[in-house]
């Protein structure tokens, strides 16, 4: 990035920028002592019919501010389109660099590429490139540490990036809240369907903490009916015979009842009519 000097027009208002360009147009001679010679050679090579050079991303970063300063709209448009396409192909997740920062084959990571593009967009008054950089900086995967420490990027651009990051985080939280509300509503609807299907109408559901209103249970039978087998009639006759001799059944013991039953077997055979 050698040869890049701060251009004050990029940080002023559009009116001041237009006035400065008009002043340059009126001058018969422009001083370019503060410009890099190699950058000027590359810039004029794109307009010379006998020179054919391919525009790459590093060259576009250097020529974008110059093309804006000297009002070369065609070259500025080419630089903007190339850099925007480079940013669109840049991964959000940083890849491992091939060597130290001074290594010639080292590749810049995503924050470094964005910072260089933002610097060129600031100096070259490129809203197209700046908007693409701000859009990418809104992703939480991109670190903001280098952006905060950079003194070559205007405070206005930093403010836009921070606001975009906050808006993106707010939108993400809103989407998560809406998703939680939707899941909660679906859960309540599922509970209601289960209650309507499996809980009787005359009792309240158990999941709401209220006591169910159960029906009064039927009384449990304290005395089961005797099973009427083939000895039932003879058994009843023995009981009646014993009551006639000894009184009610509850007033004598089981042994007494056994003696009466044995004693009365012969009697019942002759006195069937009396029973």
pLDDT at 229 over 60: no
pLDDT digits (tens, 9 = 90+) for 74-119: 999 999 999 999 998 888 765 554 555 554 444 568 888 888 999 9
Q: What is the mean pLDDT of residues 115-140?
A: 90
Beta-carbon neighbour count of residue 168 at 10 Å? 15
Q: What is the mean pLDDT of residues 38-52?
A: 79
Question: In angstroms, what CA-CA distances link 202 with 120, 198, 210, 214, 217?
Answer: 76, 12, 14, 7, 14
pLDDT at residue 129, rounded to an integer: 93
pLDDT at 212 over 70: no
Identify the top-confidence range among 45-49, 212-216, 218-222.
Answer: 45-49
Element (H, E) at 240: helix 232-246
CB 234 within 8 A of CB 261: no
pLDDT at residue 255, rounded to an integer: 56
pLDDT at residue 168, rounded to an integer: 85
More confident residue, 32 or 248: 32
pLDDT at residue 165, rounded to an integer: 87
Q: What are phi and psi of 15, to 5 degrees?
A: -70, -45
Would you say the pTM of this structure is higher than 0.75? no
pLDDT at residue 128, rounded to an integer: 93
DSSP string, 161-208: HHHHHHHHHHHHHHHHHHHHHHHHHHHHHHHHHHHHHHS-TTS--STT
pLDDT at 264 over 60: no
pLDDT at residue 181, rounded to an integer: 92
Least confident of 44-53, 99-108, 163-172, 191-200: 99-108
d(CA 189, CA 211): 22
Q: Which residues contact 210 (CB under 8 A, 6 or more apart)?
A: 204
pLDDT digits (tens, 9 = 90+) for 153-162: 888 888 888 8
């Amino acid at each position: 990035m050698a040869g890049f000097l701060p251009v004050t027009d990029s940080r002023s208002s559009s009116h001041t920028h237009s006035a400065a360009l008009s002043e340059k147009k009126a001058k018969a001679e422009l001083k370019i002592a503060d410009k890099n010679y190699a950058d000027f050679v590359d810039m004029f090579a794109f307009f010379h019919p006998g020179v054919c050079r391919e525009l790459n991303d590093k060259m576009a970063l250097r020529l974008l501010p110059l093309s804006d300063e000297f009002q070369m709209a065609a070259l500025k448009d080419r630089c903007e389109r190339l850099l925007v396409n480079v940013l669109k192909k840049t991964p959000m997740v940083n890849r491992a660099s091939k060597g130290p920062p001074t290594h010639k084959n080292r590749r810049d990571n995503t924050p470094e590429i964005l910072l260089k593009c933002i610097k060129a967009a600031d100096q070259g008054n490129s809203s197209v490139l700046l908007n693409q950089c701000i859009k990418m900086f809104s992703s939480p995967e991109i670190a903001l540490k280098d952006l905060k420490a950079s003194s070559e990027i205007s405070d206005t651009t930093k403010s836009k990036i921070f606001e975009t990051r906050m808006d993106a985080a707010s939108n993400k939280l809103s989407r998560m809240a809406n998703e939680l509300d939707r899941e909660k509503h679906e859960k309540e609807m599922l509970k209601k369907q289960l209650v309507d299907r499996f809980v009787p109408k005359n009792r309240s559901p158990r999941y709401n903490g209220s006591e169910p209103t159960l029906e009064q249970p039927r009384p449990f039978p304290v005395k089961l009916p005797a099973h009427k087998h083939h000895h039932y009639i003879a058994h009843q006759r023995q009981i009646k015979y014993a009551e006639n001799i000894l009184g009610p059944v509850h007033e004598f013991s089981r042994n007494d009842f056994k003696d009466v039953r044995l004693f009365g077997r012969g009697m019942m055979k002759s006195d069937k009519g009396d029973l």
